[in-house]
Amino acid sequence: MMRRTWMSLVMLLAAALLALLPLTALPETATPLAADPALEERLMTLAAGLRCLVCQNQSLADSNADLAADLRNEIRMQMRRGASDQDVIDYLVARYGDFVLYRPPLKTSTLLLWSGPVILLLMGIGLLIRALRCRRLQIVPTPPGAAARARAQLLLGTSSAEEPS
Amino acid sequence: MVPEFGHFALILALMLALAQSVFPLLGAAQGKPVWMQVGRTAAVGQFLFIAIAFGSLVYAFVGNDFSVLYVASNSNLSLPLQYRVAATWGGHEGSMLLWVLILAAWTVAITGFSRHMPEDFVARVLGVMGLISVGFLAFMLLTSNPFLRLLPAPADGRSLNPLLQDFGMVVHPPMLYMGYVGFSVAFAFAIAALLSGRLDASWARWSRPWTTLAWVFLSLGVALGSLWAYYELGWGGWWFWDPVENASFIPWLVGTALIHSLAVTERRGAFKGWTVLLAIITFSLSLLGTFLVRSGVLTSVHAFVTDPARGAFVLVFLAIVVGGALLLFASRAHRIGLGGSFDPVSRESMLLLNNVMLAVAAGSVLLGTLYPLVLDALGAGKISVGRPYFETVFVPLMAPAMFLIGVGPMAGWRKASLPNLATRLRWAFAVGLATALLVPLAMGRWSTPVSLGILLAAWIIASSIAGLIERLRLSGGSMSIGAKLGTNSRSYYGMQLAHVGVAVFIAGATLVLGYETDKEVRMSIGDTIEVGGYSFRLDRISEVPGPNYIASRGDVSVTRDGRAVTTMYPEKRTYGDQQNPMTEAAIDWGLARNLYIALGERLDPRTWAVRIYHKPFVELIWVGWLMMSLGGLLAVFDRRYRVAMRKPLHAPSSVSLLPNAGAVGA
């Protein structure tokens, strides 16, 4: 019996405190828009990488469109129910396809997209090395004579201290 | 009547553009001076007629002539005057007209500043630019005529997207086009050089100021676009990797490679083939950018299908320009000499490496931008490529190139030694390291990405200073500091300024990334909230009428440690019949931080959702871009570009030949 009374007393007190909380907060400090700021931050980080499907090119985090707000609500609910980020992503991809992801998943159709920059880099470096090697083979290194250089510089209208880059 | 004048002027301009391309090109090929002379006259005439056409369109916009279809679809009665003028280039047809107007203006500028070049070379340059103009004018007259009538005329036009009713929209597109079109000059110089077989150092020097000037405009255009997105879109970002942004950034990256490669070609006669190729690619990407943004293909690949004439014309035109130029290049490539020799470790190789990195970065951004379009067109599914992809790819590619900025200018032409460079740069590197450790500590929270960014930024600045000090030491001991500073050319200072600009940009971008704070709160009148050490109080919200909108405006007073800092006025604007109100963020600019307030939804009559950001050092991003542009401008006005080519030769009396050591490479 005793225990029950205690329990109800504590609960009553808690309820009263909870009811008072917005009252005390209201005139002074602005309250966060989200009920749970930590969860909201997680939501926004995730939503920044997701596309708002009806917008021109905006992330779900940035968009003010109704659909974006609905989807954010949906994600929020799922997160509250304990869904992981991956669960949410899986749910959205099942519903809207890869289009919703700003980071395209690696699959056969995106293989070239993800490997492209590496291939370009290797090609670039390869061409660079080849070009440098060819030059060394083809050019007989003859430093221009002093007279020729003076003439060239006069033609260029520069003194030798000047040097652009 | 006036639109018909404009239409007619456009047709005449096309005729003149034909004359401007056919006569000078044939004249140069057959050595007929009279034919070559036609180019200059035709260029001026073409400019006049395009200006008349452009003026007619502006006139139609200012006078609200809704019987012109293009005016009716891009303007309305309630639009303020300055935005009616800017609406001229708010749509596809008008922006094409702006494009040819700027092309004609660049052409006239060439006729004015080409006295020192051989007449046949100028003729070929004008001819090539005439050909580009023919393509664009024909495109407009056949598929995108801005002067088409809409009869009967509607009483009012369609509303212009409120996002575009902004000063940024007035200046951003013309600036961007000045850059895009400016690269047509570099392209025309390259083609003229290929045609005439004059691929030498003088060609590079003629081309260089023009190319740099185009790059300056493109840089300003990109920066303005970013600034506009920051203050107008209302969610505080400054770059979104949107295809529209990428369309201007890709030519910028390749253009940056081009101005560096031109430096080598001018100084050392090397990389001639590569420089020509880059000039062709830069302009091709500018064309691609123009069409990507304006054809609607980015919103939907199917925009091309709904207007097949337009799409087909664009593809054919691109194929002719790019294919023709590359064919010409391939046929002449074997005649291009190799130029001066250099070692694997030398300024030449470093600039070449910088070129490779920039080109690979540009290629990767292009890949990410076009990939979803291609997949969609092939019916292989719809995907989105956004920020996560671009940042993963772009940052690791650019970081080494940024590091090279510190080393390249210190390396001698032809030959450099790594141990020697390391000795000369050890202090700069130490300063960089120390700054990278101290700045995050001073900001109160460790962040590895920020530290790496600051390392690069401080390294670039410190090595630039080290380079300058070395130069001052090496130039004559008896001179005063002022005189010593005066011995360096404007292009040297331009380069330094631009490189420091890159560092400033990196510093801003990383600091704001690492230390930005924001809060999204519900605020009633009288509520306060603290963000980033500043206290914000919502004093009141009032209805304020604008010229063609009604705004709910909040008065937010900002204090810090009890002292008043400023009052900010974020707005939520409702334009006429638009459903969604537009966010007009309030920004308090400061050297060390930006305060940024965006008004959200009204939750109840006294309460609003408000998002407040504290963004440390964000403005360094645009300061950096401005410094890059100013650096380019300094280089354009270097003395040596103004020295006439046909100056009589006399024996050098005071040309000193310093040894090719350190930064004083010849």
Do A72 and A92 belong together in one domain?
yes
> Residue B152, preceding bond cis, omega within 30 degrees?
yes
pLDDT band at A15 (very low <50, low <70, confident <90, very high): low
pLDDT tens, residue by residue, A79-137: 888 888 888 889 988 888 888 888 888 888 889 999 999 999 999 999 988 888 877 77
Do A75 and A99 belong together in one domain?
yes
Domain boundary among A83, A103, A123: A103
Alpha-carbon distance B228 to B250, whole Å?
19
Do A76 and A116 belong together in one domain?
no
Range of the structural domain that residue A110 is part of: 105-134
Q: In terms of C-beta density within 10 A (0-12 exposed, 13-18 middle, 19 or more buried), how is residue A17 classed?
A: exposed
Q: Which is nearest to B614 in space by CA: B558, B553, B572?
A: B558
How far does B424 lie from chain A, in Å, by closest CA? 19
With contact defined as beta carbons under 8 Å apart, do B471 and B488 qualify?
yes
Q: Pull the structure tokens for residue B119.
A: 């007449």
Mean per-residue pLDDT for A5-29? 57
The answer, for B578 touching chain A at a CB cutoff of 8 Å, is: no
pLDDT tens, residue by residue, B565-605: 999 999 988 887 666 788 888 999 988 899 999 888 888 88
With contact defined as beta carbons under 8 Å apart, do B261 and B355 qualify?
yes
The predicted structure's pLDDT at residue B654: 36
The predicted structure's pLDDT at residue B110: 92
φ/ψ of residue B527, rounded to 5: -70, 150
Do A88 and A115 belong together in one domain?
no
Cβ–Cβ gap A144/B344 under 8 Å = no
Is B216's pLDDT higher than 60? Answer: yes
Q: In terms of C-beta density within 10 A (0-12 exposed, 13-18 middle, 19 or more buried), how is residue B535 classed?
A: middle
pLDDT tens, residue by residue, B486-526: 778 888 999 999 999 999 999 999 999 899 888 888 888 88
Alpha-carbon distance B182 to B286, whole Å?
9
Q: If you measure CA to CA, which chain A residue comes closest to B495?
A: A165
Do A39 and A96 belong together in one domain?
yes
Do A76 and A118 belong together in one domain?
no
Q: Which is nearest to B518 in space by CA: B568, B592, B450, B593?
A: B593
Q: Does some domain include residue A92?
A: yes
Residue B171 amino acid letter: V
Q: If you measure CA to CA, which chain A residue comes closest to B204?
A: A156
Mean per-residue pLDDT for B31-35? 88
Do A98 and A109 belong together in one domain?
no
Cβ–Cβ gap B384/A99 under 8 Å = yes
Q: Which is nearest to B611 in space by CA: A52, A44, A73, A32?
A: A32
Alpha-carbon distance B215 to B221, whole Å?
10
Here the CATH number for the domain that contains residue A57 is 1.10.8.640
Q: Does some domain include residue A126?
A: yes
Q: Does some domain include residue A75?
A: yes
Q: Does some domain include residue A43?
A: yes
Cβ–Cβ gap B529/A48 under 8 Å = no
Is B653's pLDDT higher than 70? Answer: no
Domain boundary among A103, A119, A147: A103
Query: Which residues of chain A have a CB within 8 Å of the CB of B299?
Result: 56
pLDDT tens, residue by residue, A31-56: 777 777 788 888 888 888 888 887 77
pLDDT band at B313 (very low <50, low <70, confident <90, very high): confident
pLDDT tens, residue by residue, B82-103: 888 988 988 888 989 999 999 9
Q: Does some domain include residue A4?
A: no
Do A58 and A119 belong together in one domain?
no
Nearest CB to B299: which of A56, A59, A162? Answer: A56
ipTM of the prediction greater than 0.95, yes or no: no
The predicted structure's pLDDT at residue B410: 86
How many residues in total does chain A contain?
165
With contact defined as beta carbons under 8 Å apart, do B613 and B237 qualify?
no
Do A53 and A112 belong together in one domain?
no
Eight-class DSSP state of B581: P
- Residue that has been written with the tokens 């320009």 in this structure: B321
Cβ–Cβ gap B389/A102 under 8 Å = yes
pLDDT tens, residue by residue, B396-441: 999 999 999 988 888 888 888 888 888 888 898 999 999 999 988 8
Is B646's pLDDT higher than 60? Answer: no
Lowest-confidence segment of B150-159, B201-210, B299-308, B645-654 by average pLDDT? B645-654
What's the structural domain count of chain A? 2
The answer, for B579 touching chain A at a CB cutoff of 8 Å, is: no
Query: Which residues of chain A have a CB within 8 Å of the CB of B371?
Result: 110, 112-113
Sign of CA dihedral B59, B65, B70, B71: positive
Cβ–Cβ gap B409/A165 under 8 Å = yes
- 3-state class (DSSP) for residue B183: helix
Distance of CA A80 to the CA centre of its chain: 23
What residues 617-636 of chain B have any CB closer than 8 A to a CB of chain A? 635
Lowest-confidence segment of A61-75, B31-45, B366-380, B627-641 by average pLDDT? A61-75
Cβ-count burial A130-165 (b if 16+ within 10 Å, e if not):
ebbeebeeeeeeeeeeeeebbbebbebbbbbbbbbb
Lowest-confidence segment of B134-138, B179-183, B293-297 by average pLDDT? B293-297
How far does B643 lie from chain A, in Å, by closest CA? 6
Residue pairs between chains A and B whose CB atoms are closer than 8 Å = 208
The predicted structure's pLDDT at residue B348: 86
Q: If you measure CA to CA, which chain A residue comes closest to B660?
A: A160
Is A25's pLDDT higher than 70? Answer: no
With contact defined as beta carbons under 8 Å apart, do B44 and B185 qualify?
no
Do A70 and A43 belong together in one domain?
yes
Q: Which residue has the higher pLDDT, B10 or B473?
A: B10
Do A116 and A126 belong together in one domain?
yes
Mean per-residue pLDDT for B458-471? 92
Quote the percentage of chain A above a pLDDT of 90.
9
Alpha-carbon distance B365 to A117, whole Å?
9
Do A91 and A125 belong together in one domain?
no
Average per-residue pLDDT for chain B: 87
